[in-house]
Amino acid sequence: MASTTESTYDASSITALEGLEHVRKRPGMYIGSTGIGGLHHLVYEVVDNSVDEAMAGHCSRIIVTLLPDGGCEVVDDGRGIPVDKMADPKLKGMSAVEAVLSQLNTGGKFDGNGYKVSGGLHGVGVSVVNALSARMECEVDRDGTRHLITFTKGGKVEHKLKPVGDSPKGRTGTTIRFWPDPLVFETVEFRAQTLVERFQMMAFLNRGLEIQFRDKRPGHSAEPVVYRYAGGIIDFVKHLNSSREALFKQVIHFEQSEEDQEIEIALQWNTGYNADGIHSFANGINTIEGGMHVEGFKKALTNAVNRYARLAKALKDSEENLTGDDIREGVTCVISVRLRDPQFEGQTKGKLGNVSSRSLAEKATNDKLSQWLEEHPTEAKKIVAKAVQASRARMAARKAREATRRKSALEGAGMPDKLKDCQSSDPAESELFIVEGDSAGGSAIQARDPRTQAILPIRGKILNVERARIDQMLKNAEIQTLITAIGAGIGLEFDGDKARYHKVIIMCDADVDGSHIRILLLTFFFRQMRDLVDAERVYIAQPPLFSTVVGKEKVYLKDEHEKQAFLTANPDHKREFQRLKGLGEMDWEELGDTTMDADQRTLLRVTTEQAAIADEVFSTLMGENVEARKHFIQTNAHDVRFLDI
């Protein structure tokens, strides 16, 4: 229907946003979101610049401090941002420091002279941090003099760059302090554990680089956390495997370089069944979707192990070669490439596209791994024996799948009886609620929108897939039901494009049992339906813990934190708070209004920005190593949220 009001579209309709205005107008384009992830992204952008200095060989220490007043300080001992005037007439003779901190697409990473290798390629990093901060200060130590420049909200220069004194003897480097703008971000409270996980990974990838973290906020320990790894990615693999039983103690390590690029690979097998333990990086960026360097490594790994298996007579002439999946079962591997001109696919830099990296990875692995296998026959035979066992399990799993398919065909091939499917056949609008228990399932069925919302009640706790091979999983009734309902396969055969729902929502009670069921389901999705997690299609429902009445209206509060915020905003509130019961004991109307109605509910999206960290967390929490699990819980206790005691 045509609009009843006319609108003109002429030159007056065009708005030119100057400087950093566009960043503040559309922050999500630059940092992903204005939630906690985007907040942390500000820190990463600043630290990444210091890491680039380290990769160039000019920085050995980075100190990150969360300040008492909510700001963040990053100090490095690099060369320091240049302080002389810019020659470019478009930059009006401003200092290089001011240009770097206040102009998009300005930096020392474009011509290949300032940095041969760099993760921050687009020149938007620190200027974006400046745009989204209420205040920023930058100190530069160069040539014996300390210089200072300050900015106010939105990256506007407050005081131009000027000398403020002598640098401490022999010091060079850059210090940046910034205070995120609370008008931009949903929260300006940093989560320490998330930051240190990232810093630890950076230290692993930059052998010998020291990264210190201090939390000087009230109520936090100001004791520094220090990461420095002389072994680099060798130590990274040991760390990732620390909660697993190694097949043998030694970490295999090799590296190779050629003009404009170099590759370093470390790997070790464990006794587990995960076949997706490869973690790849390009110029320090986590390429979570892999790319050419991973393709080259996988191909050469398969060839090298099969070649050795034939030479060692571990495979008969009549037997087929071991598949890549068989060989990679239980492997933990870190691949790190550094190259002058990386080509990343997609805005997230999730996949490396340089063909030359594939040939380098393939050549290095074929040459160096083949030699290692020949020189270590005892360990090599263990690798082959494990792969043979994986091959037999794969055959058994295939038979189990075929038996399941035949059984379904004989029974009419329908969906599981307990699944109450939705009417829509469009996955983009369809949601699957996985609900704990038949009682809660009954309430959810009444509360749902039958057109787009499907309900699948599960009974009890599903199998811990961290400790089971796929052939064992396929014998578990609850897992069979999940696989059939989602309809996209499992494990290495899983195809996210075939999933019947684009939202899979875990809905459990907010108690200890509910939390356990939730982590079991998340482990299953991460290990066996990884595409769903990577596509950010897995969610956690957040039923409220409290309700109260304001006037005649019932108000629901998600957790204790939200309750306290409500009391702060409403100090005269006299009504009692009702502690809501489990999902199965909530009225179906209440469940629908608070937890299922798309217009009113709150969902927590499950993401894995750093796949290596997520891999380690799942292995620690769900694996066999009790001490590692205990240590993880104690270490992370200060950052626990949404705990129901």
Amino acid (1-letter code) at residue 549: V
**The tokens of 179 are what?**
């205070």
Count of C-beta atoms within a 10 Å radius of residue 50? 25
Superfamily the domain 21-227 falls into: Histidine kinase-like ATPase, C-terminal domain (3.30.565.10)
Residues 443-493 have pLDDT tens digits of: 899 999 999 999 999 887 778 777 777 777 777 888 888 988 999 888 877
Tens of pLDDT, residues 338-350? 998 888 885 556 7
Alpha carbon distances (Å) from 158 to 91, 139, 162, 352, 512: 17, 14, 12, 40, 51
**Distance between CA 254 and CA 134 in Å, rounded?**
46
CB neighbours (10 Å) of residue 61?
17
Q: Note whether 21-227 and 233-395 share their fold.
A: no
Q: Band of the pLDDT at 411, cuts 50, 70, 90?
A: very low
Q: Is residue 88 flagged as an active site residue?
A: no
Burial class (CB in 10 A: 0-12, 13-18, 19+), 148: middle
Count helices and strands in the chain by DSSP H and E runs: 20, 23
Given a cut of 90, whether residue 568 has pLDDT beyond it is no
Tokens representing residue 576 in the block = 């009692």
From the candidates 511, 536, 576, 639, give the one annotated as an active-site residue.
511
Q: Please state which of the four CATH numbers 3.40.1390.10, 3.40.50.720, 3.30.230.10, 3.30.870.10 is assigned to the domain occupying 233-395.
A: 3.30.230.10
> Among the options 235, 436, 478, 590, which is catalytic?
436
Rounded CA-CA distance 366/447 in Å is 58
Average per-residue pLDDT for the chain: 83
pLDDT in tens, 613-644: 656 665 656 555 556 555 555 555 444 443 33
Q: Which of 76, 326, 509, 593 is catalytic?
A: 509
Average pLDDT over residues 96-111: 72
Q: Pick the catalytic residue: 513, 531, 559, 597?
A: 513
Looking at the chain, the whole-number percentage of residues with pLDDT higher than 70 is 84
pLDDT tens profile 152-189: 998 899 999 999 999 999 899 999 999 999 999 989 99
Largest CA distance in the chain: 84
Percentage of the chain exceeding pLDDT 90 = 43
Compare 541 and 394 and report the one with higher pLDDT.
541
Domains of the chain, by residue range, sit at 21-227, 233-395
Catalytic residue list contains 260:
no
- Residue 435's contacts (CB-CB under 8 Å, 6 or more residues apart) are 441, 444, 455, 456, 457, 458, 507, 508, 583
pLDDT tens digits, one per residue of 261-281 = 999 999 999 988 877 789 999
Q: Which two tokens stand for residue 557?
A: 């509060």
Tokens coding 348: 């997230």
Residue type, 49: N
CA distance 148 to 142: 11
Q: For residues 151, 155, 160 and 164, what is the CA-based torsion angle, rounded to 10 degrees?
A: 40
Task: Give the model's pLDDT for residue 408.
Answer: 46
Rounded to 5 degrees, what are φ and ψ at 603?
-110, 145
- Which position has the token pair 């939200």? 562
The whole-angstrom separation of Cα 62 and Cα 51 is 8
Extended strands (E) in 13-60: none
pLDDT at 602 over 90: no
Q: Determine whether 436 is an active site residue.
A: yes
